[in-house]
Chains A and B, each alone.
Chain A
Amino acid sequence: MAKDNKIWRARKGLAFRKLVDGGMLFDQKGQQVHHFNETAAVVWELCARGQTTAEIVARLRSAYEVDETQIVADVQEVLKDFSGSDLLQ
């Protein structure tokens, strides 16, 4: 599980584009495209700005009226997916 104060950064060579239902990340190195849903797109934008896990959770909590435990779980899962796809450094 990621620590709350870990500062996230996007790996170099990635281009993000916001879409109407989420976003799209173009990996110039691997010539791969990742499509994100709305939550994952927000998490990505916050990671790319160098935010910590706690800041990401706080931001999502203020944007969506959802239970905090659920938000923490969603954010952890999204961050795990990003790390697993080698999108973060």
Chain B
Amino acid sequence: MTVESVFERAMLAADLSGIIDFDEEEWETLGDLAIAEGLEGLLYWHCIRSAVEMPSEARYILRTEYRAWATDNFAALQALQLVLDEFRHRQIEIVVLPGAPLLAFYPDPGCRPMGDIDLLVRPQQASAAAAALAAMDFTSPDRYDDLYCKGALLIDLHTDLFHCERIAARRHAGQLSVEQIWAGCWVCEVEGVEMSVPRLEDMVLYTVAHALRHSYRRLSWFADLRLLIDQDLDWSYLFAAARTCHLERPLYYGVCFLQERGPLPAPLEGWMQDRGLSKVEAWLLQRAFAGRRDGELGDVLWSFNVEGLLQRLQFLAQTYFPQPSVMLQVFPFLPKPLFPLAYGLRFGQLMFRGGRQLAGLMRKT
């Protein structure tokens, strides 16, 4: 077994048996892998909990990372409490999107990294929400109008779930309905902070779509998914919502990864058995999983979810060559008036990455 497969089993099935015999070199690889995958805190937690002996250097690194996440996440949630109080005071309705709510399913706040906090606001209250954040001294970084930053807290304000306002063609690639999120939201307590969050089944769909959009680059999204499917879910709702929202494919892909690494809850196992993929799609999915950490195949896979060749091409074109404001985020060093150059740079970037992927595939073949 490789260090990677042992690590995946440890994180997704809490099976640490492979780690016990690791030598120092393997521990070093394991530590690097855990940090790259965003699961260093969870690895440390499992090792301490199961009394796994760690070499002192690995222990020090993992403990430092674990404590840093615990500190940052706890501080961010305390700061979020003030923001939510202010929104409540101004009667602005907010749903906190995953990841912050997912912390509630982890053993403690050191086990999962949390970057920005995503807040869903009704479109008609978006400007009021932005004004409330400005009044609390939040500022937006240059070129990121939807991001609000204050100290260690970074808030991403959404009016839809997959940033379709930036890339309109995403609407054809499966979409969680905003109304569905509002209708199903419930109050969850995360580290003492009460927040409105989507229902669990909607969190599953959000997580699988998010992981696909980011080409499954981090194992932490699969760890999230594993924790979510182990909750007491309304399976009929999940499967119906996946169908209605046209998100059956992302759900199937995400669960496929878990299925290859451990048993699934029976209803999900049954649902998977009734489905399959074309040969090309299955091959691409395996390539996407195999080259996850520097993968670029998420959008290609997601395009299978778009009906009709023309719309699929439109989806890919808009995804790879989005509107100028997004391109200027991709190439922040370009002055705004030179934005057409960003498209040339993007083309070069895609050619380089495509060539690298192709070379990798040929080497493996």
Q: Which residues of A contact B (CB under 8 A)?
A: 15, 17-21, 24, 26, 28, 31, 33, 35
Contacts and interface: CB of A to CB of B under 8 A. Distances in A.
B193 to A, nearest CB: 11
A53 B110 CA distance: 30
Contacts of B109: 17
A26 B108 contact: no
A24 B78 contact: no
B123 interface: no
A31 B152 CA distance: 11
Given A19-B110, A20-B45, A33-B71, 19 more contacts: A15-B74, A17-B191, A19-B66, A19-B67, A19-B108, A20-B44, A20-B49, A20-B107, A20-B108, A20-B110, A21-B48, A24-B67, A24-B70, A24-B71, A24-B74, A26-B74, A26-B75, A33-B74, A35-B67
B63 interface: yes
B78 A17 contact: no
B267 interface: no
B192 interface: yes
Nearest to A31: B75
A38 to B, nearest CB: 10
Contacts of B44: 20
Interface residues of B, number: 18
Contacts of B108: 17-20
B63 A21 contact: yes
Contacts of A20: 44-45, 48-49, 66, 107-108, 110
A26 B49 contact: no
A19 B63 CA distance: 11
A20 B70 CA distance: 11
24 contacts: A15-B78, A15-B192, A17-B74, A17-B108, A17-B109, A17-B191, A18-B108, A19-B66, A19-B67, A19-B70, A19-B108, A19-B110, A20-B107, A20-B110, A21-B48, A21-B63, A24-B67, A24-B71, A24-B74, A26-B71, A28-B78, A33-B71, A33-B74, A33-B75
Interface string B92-115: 000000000000000111100000
B40 to A, nearest CB: 13
Nearest to B107: A20
A64 to B, nearest CB: 16
Interface in B74-95: 74-75, 78
Contacts of B71: 24, 26, 33, 35
Contacts of B48: 20-21
Contacts of B74: 15, 17, 24, 26, 33
